[in-house]
Every structure is written in structure tokens, then in C-alpha cells.
Amino acid sequence: MEALIYNQKGEEAGKIKLPEAVFGLPKNDDLVHQVVVSMQSNLRTPVAHTKGRGDVRGGGKKPWQQKGTGRARHGSIRSPLWRGGGVTHGPIKDKNYEKKINKKMKAKALYTILSQKMRDNEILFVDNFSFIKPKTQEAVSAMKSLSKIKEFKNIISKKNNAAYLALGKKDLNTAKSFANLSNIKIDDVKNLNPMDVVNYKYLIIEQPEESVKFIQGKLEKKVLK
């Protein structure tokens, strides 16, 4: 399996041979859904918190005697039936939403997403992004150039979650240049994960030769553990 490599001007700069084990897997929606939902759950921070009848202040004395008043019987003014009383089955911040994700599953899910994006022509390999100094205008210019490629014409016009840019190595000028583009997320290739890749329409991989080897090597180590 081969793919074209482009420069930041949108011109062809070579080809890369891709491993079938990473970019040639069949579709597996169930696996991807399970891994992505688990990752989202692990990021969840419980904030909403309610008090039950045992947590609400007061209500120690019985409001009125059990019989003889003509009114319904009650044992506490902090019952969920009363205004100011406890909440029944309300949310609590102590709840643990964490879910375990098997390393093999996470690796296979990432492979599966990359394979599907490859079939849909949503992965773009760029040899290198180079900016003399941080400048948003230069980043926009680079994206406009890449949008001239037939399969990626919407990469600049899509307002939300347009592209995930995976850098081969940390570059402060490149990171700052893309920082003001809200529809593009930029991060190092070592942080590539199923949740981010599936949430963005396009995936741009910089320095593809080294990046692909890193992805393949890192994930193979996880699978072998």
C-alpha cells in the first residue's frame, strides 16, 4: 500500500509505503465505539451533586403525631416529599465513571480508524511544516495550499473539527502558528489516539516516514505486552 507525500505548498514530494497491519484493516464499528466511549468516560469529571435525606440539615423531630390530626403521617421534614428535603436518586460527585481499556483493544481501534480514513481518502501526509516565526497567516496559507488537493478541498472551509495535525516532533513555531485556528487540533504524533482521530474529519501526518514507524513500533510493543 502506497500513499503520496505532499509539501506544505500542496505539491507532490514523494511516496510512502504504508504497513497493511496499520492502514489495511477491515471495518470494526463495535470495537471503535467501545474504546471511544470508554476514553470519553475516563475524561468525565463528576460535578453535579445532590444531598439525600440523610445529608440534609434538620428534620430530627417528627413534625406531628402519627394519628389524630387528620393529616398524612410524616416522620421527618427532610423527607424527599417535603420542600427542602433530600433528593431521591440524585447525581453524586463521588460516582466513578472510569472504564478500563485493554491495550490491545486501544491499539486495534486506532489501527481500524486509520484504515477507514485511508480508504475514505482522509489522511494527508506532509513532509514538513516549516515556519520562520509563529504566524497564523502562514498557517492559513499552508492549509489553503493543501486544500487544492482534490480529496482535501474542504479542509479549510469546514468550520468545526476539520483536521487533526500530528507533528513528527515538537515545533513551537508550527504549534503557535496553528494555535488560533479553532477547527484544527495540533499535537505530537506520540499522542495520537482513537478518540481524537475519530472526532476530526481529516488527519494530517507530518514527517510520515518517521511518524508511521513510530506509530507502528509503539503500538506493536503494546500489543506484545
Can you give the CATH number for the domain in which 171 is found? 3.40.1370.10
Is pLDDT at 225 greater than 50 in this prediction? no
Is pLDDT at 26 greater than 50 in this prediction? yes
Residue with cell 479549510: 156
Q: What's the rounded Cα separation, in Å, for the pair 15 and 98? A: 42
Residues 106, 138: one domain? yes
pLDDT in tens, 105-131: 998 999 999 999 999 999 999 999 989
- For residue 167, being part of any structural domain is answered with yes
- For residue 31, being part of any structural domain is answered with yes
Residues 191, 89: one domain? no
Residues 34, 81: one domain? no
- For residue 9, being part of any structural domain is answered with yes
Place 223 in a pLDDT band, splitting at 50, 70 and 90.
Answer: very low
Is pLDDT at 45 greater than 60 in this prediction? yes
Q: What's the rounded Cα separation, in Å, for the pair 207 and 14? A: 12
pLDDT at residue 33, rounded to an integer: 96
CB 14 within 8 A of CB 208: no
List of residues 6+ apart from 83 with CB closer than 8 A: none
- For residue 50, being part of any structural domain is answered with no
- For residue 51, being part of any structural domain is answered with no
Is pLDDT at 37 greater than 90 in this prediction? yes
Number of domains into which the chain is organized: 2
| Structural domain harbouring 82 | 56-96
Torsion from C-alpha of 209, 213, 215, 221, nearest 10 degrees: 180
Residues 161, 69: one domain? no
pLDDT in tens, 85-101: 999 999 999 889 999 99
Residues 143, 123: one domain? yes
Residues 136, 76: one domain? no
CB 194 within 8 A of CB 39: yes
pLDDT in tens, 176-197: 999 999 999 999 999 999 999 9
Q: What's the rounded Cα separation, in Å, for the pair 34 and 186? A: 25
Lookup: cell for 164: 487533526
Lookup: cell for 153: 478541498
The whole-chain average pLDDT of the chain stands at 90
pLDDT in tens, 129-156: 989 899 999 999 999 999 999 889 888 8
Instruction: Compute CA 16 distance to the chain's CA centroid, rounded to the nearest angstrom.
Output: 27
Closest CA to 131 of 179, 163, 164: 179
Residues 19, 127: one domain? yes
Residues 183, 92: one domain? no
